[in-house]
C-alpha cells in the first residue's frame, strides 16, 4: 500500500521526529533527555521493590504451583506484565489525538500522516526497552537467573509496536472525525486493564465472570496474551501459573502458538488500519 511504502521513503524524517520527541518531552528541565532514563528507572524501582513490601512476598498456597521463598518474586512478575501495559496505554492515548495535535503541520506540509503515529509508537518502544533493561538489572541484583528465552524479547517488543501502531492509526483517523473519541478510549483502556490479569491471578477472572465467560474473555484478549508472554520470557521463575524452564522455547502456555497468533493479529491490524486511513486521508486536512 502507498502509506506503508511512504513510511519507508520518509524514514529519515521518522528518526528525526523520534529524536525530537525525546528531546522536547523534558525540554527546559535541568537534566533534560536523561529523564528518559531516570523516569523509567523510578517506575521500575517502585513496581519491583516497593511492590514487594506492599503486596508481600507470596501468593496464597491455593494460587501457587511452586514454593517461592523470594521477597521480590511476585513484584518482579507483576512488573514484567505491567510495564508493557503502561507503555501501551500511554502510547495509545498519545497516538489517538496525534492528527489533531499536529493539525498545522498536516495542513501546511506534504508528508505521510501515519508517520505521526509511528514516531510516537517507536518512542514508546524505546522507553519500554529501557524499562525492560532496568527490570532485568533489578532481577540480577535480586539473584534471579535469566534464561535464553530472553532472545524472544526483541521480537515481542516489535509485535507490541505493530499492534499499537495499527490501533493508534485507526483511533487517530476516527478522532479526526469524532472528537469525543479520546474520552471513550480512556474509559475503554481502564476497563481493559482490569479485564487483563496482570496484577491478579487469571483464575480470578474465571471465578468472577458469570456464565463461565472467564476463559473465553481471556482467549480473545490480545493484551492478556501479550503481557503474559512478557512475564513468561523475562524470568526463569514466576510465582503463579507459568513455571519457565531455562531454555530457548518455553513449553508452557503454548508460547509459540501465542507468538504466532499475536504476530498474525498485529499484521492484520496494521493492514486494516492502513486501508482505513487510505479511505479517509483525503478528508483529513478539512476535518482537523
Q: How many CA atoms lie within 13 A of 181 on its CB side?
A: 22
Contacts of 81 (CB under 8 A, 6+ apart): 198, 227, 228, 230, 231
Whether 196 and 85 have beta carbons less than 8 Å apart is answered as: yes
Angle subtended at Cα 157 by Cα 280 and Cα 129, rounded to the nearest 5 degrees: 115
Whether 229 and 259 have beta carbons less than 8 Å apart is answered as: yes
CA distances, 67 to each of 59, 114, 136, 241, 243 (Å): 10, 49, 22, 12, 11
Whether 282 and 183 have beta carbons less than 8 Å apart is answered as: no
Instruction: List the pLDDT tens digit at each of the 288 positions of the chain.
Output: 566 677 777 778 888 888 888 777 765 555 655 666 677 777 777 776 666 566 554 444 444 434 455 667 777 778 888 889 989 999 999 999 998 888 887 777 777 888 999 999 999 999 899 888 888 888 888 887 777 778 888 999 999 999 999 999 999 999 988 888 889 999 999 999 888 888 777 777 777 776 667 777 787 888 988 888 888 787 654 333 344 344 444 555 567 777 888 899 999 999 999 999 988 888 777 766
If one counts every other C-beta atom within 10 angstroms of the C-beta of residue 168, the result is: 27
Spatial distance between the Cα atoms of 247 and 146, rounded to a whole number of angstroms: 10
Q: How many CA atoms lie within 13 A of 188 on its CB side?
A: 11
Q: Per-residue DSSP letters for 116-144?
A: HHHHHHHHHHHHHHHHHHHHHHHHHHTT-
Classified as helix, coil or strand, 50 is helix
DSSP, res 114: H
What pLDDT shows up at residue 170? Answer: 94
Q: How many CA atoms lie within 13 A of 4 on its CB side?
A: 12
| Domain-wise residue ranges, the chain | 2-287
If one counts every other C-beta atom within 10 angstroms of the C-beta of residue 279, the result is: 9
Alpha-helix residue ranges (DSSP H) falling in 46-152: 51-55, 73-96, 98-101, 103-108, 114-141
CA distances, 94 to each of 79, 119, 121, 144, 273 (Å): 22, 11, 9, 35, 17
pTM for the whole thing?
Answer: 0.83
What pLDDT shows up at residue 63? Answer: 40
What pLDDT shows up at residue 5? Answer: 73
Whether 227 and 81 have beta carbons less than 8 Å apart is answered as: yes
Amino acid at each position: 500500500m502507498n502509506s506503508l511504502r511512504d513510511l519507508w521513503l520518509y524514514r529519515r524524517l521518522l528518526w528525526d521526529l523520534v529524536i525530537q520527541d525525546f528531546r522536547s518531552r523534558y525540554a527546559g528541565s535541568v537534566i533534560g533527555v536523561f529523564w528518559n532514563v531516570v523516569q523509567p528507572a523510578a517506575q521500575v524501582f517502585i513496581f519491583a521493590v516497593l511492590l514487594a513490601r506492599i503486596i508481600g512476598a507470596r501468593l496464597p498456597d491455593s494460587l501457587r504451583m511452586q514454593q517461592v521463598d523470594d521477597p521480590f518474586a511476585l513484584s518482579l512478575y507483576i512488573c514484567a506484565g505491567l510495564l508493557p501495559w503502561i507503555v501501551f496505554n500511554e502510547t495509545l492515548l498519545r497516538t489517538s489525538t496525534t492528527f489533531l495535535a499536529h493539525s498545522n503541520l498536516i495542513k501546511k506540509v506534504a508528508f505521510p500522516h501515519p508517520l505521526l503515529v509511528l514516531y510516537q509508537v517507536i518512542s514508546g518502544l524505546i522507553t519500554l526497552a529501557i524499562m525492560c533493561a532496568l527490570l532485568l538489572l533489578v532481577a540480577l541484583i535480586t539473584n534471579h537467573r535469566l534464561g535464553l528465552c530472553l532472545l524472544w524479547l526483541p521480537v515481542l517488543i516489535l509485535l507490541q509496536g505493530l499492534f499499537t501502531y495499527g490501533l493508534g492509526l485507526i483511533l487517530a483517523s476516527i478522532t479526526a472525525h469524532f472528537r469525543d473519541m479520546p474520552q471513550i478510549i480512556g474509559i475503554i483502556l481502564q476497563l481493559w486493564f482490569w479485564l487483563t490479569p496482570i496484577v491478579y491471578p487469571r483464575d480470578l477472572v474465571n471465578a468472577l465472570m458469570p456464565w463461565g465467560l472467564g476463559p473465553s474473555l481471556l482467549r480473545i484478549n490480545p493484551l492478556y496474551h501479550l503481557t503474559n508472554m512478557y512475564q513468561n520470557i523475562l524470568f526463569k521463575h514466576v510465582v503463579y501459573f507459568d513455571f519457565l524452564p531455562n531454555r530457548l522455547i518455553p513449553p508452557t502456555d503454548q508460547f509459540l502458538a501465542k507468538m504466532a497468533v499475536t504476530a498474525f493479529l498485529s499484521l492484520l491490524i496494521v493492514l486494516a488500519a492502513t486501508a482505513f486511513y487510505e479511505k479517509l486521508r483525503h478528508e483529513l486536512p478539512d476535518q482537523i
